[in-house]
Amino acid sequence: MIGYQSTLLGRTEVAEGTMAFQFEKPNDFVFKAGQYIDLTLSDCQPGPSNGLTHTFSIASSPFDEELLVTTRIRNTVFKQAISSLPIGSRARIEGPMGSFCLHNNTARPAVFFAGGIGIAPFISMLTYATEENLRHRIVLFYVNRYRRMWHSLMRSGSWRLQIQGSALFLPSRAWPIITAGRGRLGTSARKCCSPA
């Protein structure tokens, strides 16, 4: 596994109990939209500790100058450490890993279902698709109970406006808005997922 040194550049609260962290992107770090990393906090514990490690989906585009990861802040050692880590602290990145990426067949729609913080790899894919002017028909069903996070996501990328013709962004507060009956998609939702 290839490892890289990085630095915490900033943090933003994107919803109640949810933070986005911006890390320096190493010059030779190359990834595909949708991949993930292992992030080890080097400066969080005094003494001979190897640091704390956690796996994160990359929320930024491969073209971005920073690596963006997001997480719910829970009462765990890692998440308490990262939420109070001073700006400028060192971190180690291992990866990228994973094959959860946008498929190559533009004739087949890409249908994404995400809830809460699980939207991170989709933000990466949508931003990348916009930047590359990909011709995929992309449908995103997204559920989040925090309206503030919706607004943060809307502001976080230009993809929402730029791919209106090929992407459908459906923020909702509850699954019944996009489902019908016994957990099946309703007719209107199925139509938006079928090839044009």
User: Do the domains 110-193 and 3-97 match in fold?
Assistant: no
pLDDT of the residue at 140: 79
Q: Average of pLDDT values for 112-119?
A: 83
What is the CATH superfamily name and number for domain 3-97? Translation factors (2.40.30.10)
Q: What percentage of the chain reaches a pLDDT higher than 90? A: 45
Q: What is the 3-state secondary structure (H, E, C) of 170-184?
A: EEECCHHHCEECCCE
Which pLDDT tens digit goes with each residue over 159-170?
443 344 444 555
Q: What is the mean pLDDT of residues 109-135?
A: 86
Domain 110-193 has CATH 3.40.50.80: yes
- pLDDT band at residue 171, thresholds of 50, 70 and 90? low
Read off the pLDDT band of 91 (50, 70, 90): very high
- The confidence band for 80, taking pLDDT boundaries of 50, 70 and 90, is very high
Query: Could you tell me the pTM of the whole model?
Result: 0.79
Tell me which residue of 193, 189, 190, 122 sits closest to 157, measured CA to CA: 122
The yes-or-no verdict on residue 183 having pLDDT over 80 is: no
Ordered by start, the domain boundaries in the chain are 3-97, 110-193
How many C-alpha atoms does 16 have within 13 Å on its Cβ side?
A: 4
Three-state secondary-structure class, residue 39: strand
Q: Which of 129, 86, 15, 89 is CA-nearest to residue 169?
A: 129
pLDDT in the model for residue 150:
54
d(CA 17, CA 186): 32
Beta carbons of 12 and 19 less than 8 angstroms apart? yes
* Cα gap 85→118, rounded to integer Å: 23
